[in-house]
Amino acid sequence: MGFSIKKTFVLAALATISCVNAVSLEFSKNGVLRKEGDCNITFINFGMDKWIKNLNITKSENSLSIEGLVNGNIGPNSKIHTKETELRSIITIKQGDNDITDFEISNISETAGTMNIKINNITTCENLSLKQGFIEETVIVANRLYYYGNIPSPKINKSFARNLFGPSYNYPFERVHWKINDGLDDLRETCGIHILYYGNAPVTSNGRHWQYYLSVENANTESCDKNKFFDVIKNNFKDYHFTEELLGSNYLGYVLKREGHEEEHMDGIIDGNKYLIEMYQNSCGGQSNSRSICVIPSQDKLSFNAFTDKLIHECLKMNNVEGEWEVTNGVATGTFNDQILTVETSKVDGKGSLTNDEIIYESVASGSTPVARFVISFACKDGTFMDDKCQCKTCPANCLSCTSDEKCDICNEISTNVNNKCECIEGYEPDKYGVCGKQCVEGFIKVDGECIKQCRDNEELVGKECQCISGYVEVEGECVPECKKNEELVGKECKCIEGYAADENGICIKQCGNNEEADDDQCKCIEGYAADENGVCVKQCGKNEELEGGECVCKEGYAVTEKSNRVCVKICGENEELDENSDGDLCKCKEGYAANENGACTLLCGDKEELVEGVCQCKDSYIAEVDGNCVKKCGTNEQLNGEECQCKEGYAANENGECIKQCGENKELDGEECKCIEGYTTDENDNCVIKCGNKEVLVDGVCQCKDGYIAELDGTCVRKCSENEVADGDDCKCKEGYVADVDGTCVKKCGNNEELVDDLCQCKTGYIYSEDGICTKISPPTTTITTTIHGGDKPCCKCGCGCKIQPYFGWFRFFNWGIHYDYRKVFECDKNRNCKKFFNCGKDKQCTNFFDTCHKKGNCVKQFDKKFFNGCHKFTGCKNFFDCHRQHTFCSNLKCKEKNCKQCGCNAKTTSIKTTLIKKTTTKKTTTKKTNTKKTTTNKKTTTIKKTTTTTTTSKPTATYGGSLLDRIYYILFH
């Protein structure tokens, strides 16, 4: 009962869908998988390539149709199977592990060699497989021999000329039978090789059949070589032994195929063959004269004697026969007991010949194996017959003429033919060989048809006489045992003479004493013993042994050890072992030991070791590692590098050779730790950088004021204030003499009756300065006012400690007609308000040039290019002092700032400019009186320069600010 697969589908379109997707094939041990869209089917024994690709497969809701399948049962053994019932029995359809039996076979075409299969009640192609078997379970195969020593290349799946195959023109070898179903399965499962159909042969006298190839060129997914392929083929022959008898064990078939012939055939070679002899024989019985009976391959040309030897024993398998050969006119004749053999060149194509010395070979095609073809015939002598292999055999006993060993035609005179067999007549009887002879009286037996006396015990028939068998002699007409040396006959038995006894072999030997053995009628000491002075055999002791109580014992100082093979050897001392090159009486120190001055074996220490109380210890300045090796003992902060100690990474040797830690830039060693030098601190990378003030930041290794701060001349960072402001802690306030206006801007603080005009205080309109510098109301018509301008030509002092200043003559300016001198500070105040040289740049340092300025970090700054020297970092600021040319200004944070002389202490200086208001008259006469007065008061640290200019003009009185134009410019520039 079959198994059907059913499944319900809901189709939204046509009931039948044709597979029109691209088709691909995959070959494996399971078969040929045809992949087309979602319909993948495995085919087995339906061919390869186009025979699978070109199938027309359609599926509907509940069925699957396959059109154009190869019917491999067209033609095996020249039989054609086209009945649907026959083919159903060899078609297997499976889906997974389930068998499908609900299918139909139609359109079975003998001409096309194809058929169609429709599978019913199936809804999917998943895990579907079709396998074709063969009704003819075995196919007839003729094995053919390719006339070349190597397999054809590059292709073997093709036809070859018939004359390239042998050893005859008519498929000479015995037909054998190949199990096609088992063989195809074995090839597929072992090698992944599938049958390759390549065409349907046309109708001929041999009938229609499929042509196919089986070889390693067919897929071969497991990469089987030709030897593996032939093993699989050979194992599936039912009767391959026929081929092996004809072609030998070195035959290698490389393709099994069906072409245009009646049967399949196997093409093969004799592997390694270089020369070939083909043997045929004249027809006899069922033997065809065109069929070879054997081939004789060889690596070298055969001599005539080698050829006849292989012919008789290997080809004809005639054993235990002797014959004589002679060659006359190229024909060899061999005479044997029962027959005469004749060997001559085949008359079919006349290839090859023979002489008394050698076989002459010829090639059947260019480059092919040299061949010699001979025909053998048999002539049987009387009393023999020719068997089905055309060889002569002896007729049965008592038969003079026969046609087989089962049928005698003529019996001899003392036998009669009964049912084609010869039986003895009355008065005669068969011997053990079945030969008839006369019957003999009691006490006689028949030998070769003649009655002779029957031999007694211990006798045998020699010719027609009875004689004693070997080992017996006749004594008084009776065969008795022949006694050997040292034996005597006692009754009918041989026994040892006195003083002798039989050994395990029954030989009488002399009886010897203890530890003796017989040696040709003499006694001698057995091995390991020797005769002493009394002739007694005592144990013979070996080297280093002595006899004690009849036994050999080791001498004092010697003993038998496990390795001495029961030989006494010297007892070695501590740390000693036996010298194998001695005779067991010499000791040597064990490996790793050496003899000291006293001859004792002590431990052999290395060159860095010394022996201490029997133990190797490292020498001073060395230390043992984990593996026991002595290495140099390194000091603190040292490590071993090869054989020498070196400072560890980050350490270096000082002048005493001690490894001390190496500190980086701006670091110094404090005990075992590296710390930053004074004035430096560590950053996030553990580098020592300059320690900046709380109002400074480090930029590119230089301390700079934070945003919102600015450096003063001494480098101190103060709050960066606007013009006319000064720092007050972290805030800004108007500097002395200034006050914040309504906008918060610091402007000059003017006195009573003064107003600010262009950043200068001057008397309000209607007011004029008095000699005391106070704005008083103008009393017309003429008033002279002296204006005192604070500041003057000399710089202000910060500390108010009374430090002196001196003029600086390094440069000058031209104003009007005079030379103006600038003044620089030479001294400044220290923290105790004592004067110190302004140019002292710290301990043991001093700026060498008067023009240079000290920086707070202890370096000097060039005044002209503002560059540091003596290790200073580059300083950027005012390019030169000309950039700050106005008196009472200095360069701070790259900008020029004005000092407020009103805040100065002892170094303050007041310049008075006396201006006289002019009363103009109408007269043209002008009188000018110029007075220059310069006054310096050292004790009060005050310098006063007084300039008075009086101009009288007769004119209408007008109140104006007096003073020459140069004085006005001077005031504006240097105030």
Task: Confirm whether 751 is domain-assigned.
Answer: no
211-220 pLDDT, tens digit per residue, is 999 999 999 9
pLDDT band (50, 70, 90) for residue 434? confident
Tell me what pLDDT residue 637 has: 84
Which amino acid, one-letter code, is at 416? T
**How many folded domains does the chain comprise?**
4
- Domain residues for the domain of 118 are 24-132
pLDDT at 570 over 50: yes
* pLDDT for the residue numbered 767: 86
In a domain, 41, yes or no: yes
| Whether 152 and 224 share a structural domain | yes
Note the pLDDT of residue 205. Answer: 52
The residue out of 132, 154, 169 marking a domain boundary is 132
Question: What is the average per-residue pLDDT within 561-574?
Answer: 80
pLDDT > 70? residue 488: yes
Please check whether residues 30 and 84 belong to one and the same domain.
yes
Could you tell me if 19 and 37 are in contact, meaning their C-beta atoms sit under 8 angstroms apart? yes
Q: Of 98-102, 339-343, 907-911, where does the model show the most confidence?
A: 98-102
Contacts 24+ apart (CB under 8 A), 31-40: 31/129, 31/131, 31/188, 31/194, 32/194, 38/125, 39/64, 39/125, 40/125, 40/126, 40/128
| Residue 252, amino acid | L
Q: Is the pLDDT of residue 190 over 60?
A: yes
Decide which of 849 and 545 is more confident.
545
Q: How far is CA 744 from the centre of its chain?
A: 83
What is the structure's pLDDT at 286?
54
The last residue of a domain, from among 534, 562, 595: 595
Tell me the range of 7-11, 490-494, 890-894 where mean pLDDT is highest.
490-494
Q: Is the pLDDT of residue 926 over 70?
A: no
pLDDT in tens, 751-763: 888 888 877 888 8
Which residue would you say has higher pLDDT here, 686 or 780? 686
Please check whether residues 253 and 147 belong to one and the same domain: yes
Q: Are residues 551 and 577 in the same domain?
A: yes
Q: Does 198 map to a domain?
A: yes
Dihedral sign of CA atoms 611, 616, 617, 619 in order: positive
Q: Which residues of 282-319 are buried (b: 16+ CB within 10 A; e: fewer)?
A: eebeeeeeebbbbbbbbeeebebeebbebbbeebbebe
Residue 906: per-residue pLDDT: 43
Q: What's the per-residue H, E or C state across 89-118?
A: HHEEEEECCEEECCEEEEEEECCCCEEEEE
Q: Comparing C-alpha atoms, which of 307, 408, 297 is closest to residue 353?
A: 307
Do 254 and 173 have their domain in common? yes
Q: How confident is the model at residue 890 (pLDDT cuts 50, 70, 90)?
A: low
- Clarify whether residues 222 and 237 are in a common domain: yes
Question: Is pLDDT at 43 greater than 90 in this prediction?
Answer: yes
Q: Which residue has the tokens 């090159």?
A: 581
Q: Give the model's pLDDT for residue 683.
A: 83
DSSP-assigned states of every residue in 732-747: EEEPTTEEE-TTS-EE
**410 has pLDDT over 60:** yes
**For residue 771, is pLDDT > 60?**
yes
206 falls within a domain: yes
- Model confidence band, residue 911 (pLDDT cutoffs 50, 70, 90): very low
Residue 773 has pLDDT above 50, yes or no: yes
**Residue 686 covered by a domain:** yes
**pLDDT number for residue 339:** 87
Does residue 172 share a domain with residue 128? no
Would you say residue 858 lies in a domain? no
Residues 143 and 254 occupy one common structural domain: yes
The percent of residues in the chain predicted with pLDDT above 70, rounded, is: 75
Residue 233 lies in a domain: yes
Say whether both 147 and 65 belong to one domain: no
Residues 113 and 227 in one domain: no
- 120 and 145 in a single domain? The answer is no
Contacting residues for 305 by C-beta, under 8 A, at least 6 apart: none
Q: What is the mean pLDDT of residues 338-345?
A: 90
pLDDT of residue 530: 85
Nearest Cα residue to 804 out of 941, 945, 935, 908:
941
Range ranked top by mean pLDDT from 426-430, 817-821, 824-828: 426-430
Same domain, 126 and 165: no
Return d(Cα 692, Cα 709) in angstroms, integer: 14
- E-strand ranges in 356-456 read 359-360, 362-363, 370-380, 384-386, 392-394, 399-404, 407-411, 415-418, 421-424, 428-430, 436-438, 444-447, 450-453
Q: What is the pLDDT of residue 855?
A: 54
* Residue at a domain's end among 132, 160, 187: 132
Give the per-residue pLDDT at 914.
40
Mean pLDDT computed over 490-502? 87
* Amino acid, res. 420: N
96-100, 110-114, 935-939: range with lowest mean pLDDT: 935-939
Query: Is 174 part of any domain?
Result: yes
User: Is the backbone peptide bond immediately before 152 cis, with ω within 30 degrees of 0?
Assistant: no
Q: What is the mean pLDDT of the chain?
A: 77
Distance CA 617, CA 3 (A): 90
Question: Per residue in 417-456, is it b (16+ CB within 10 Å) or e — as a string?
Answer: eeeebbebeeebebeeeebbbeebeeeeebeeeebbeebe
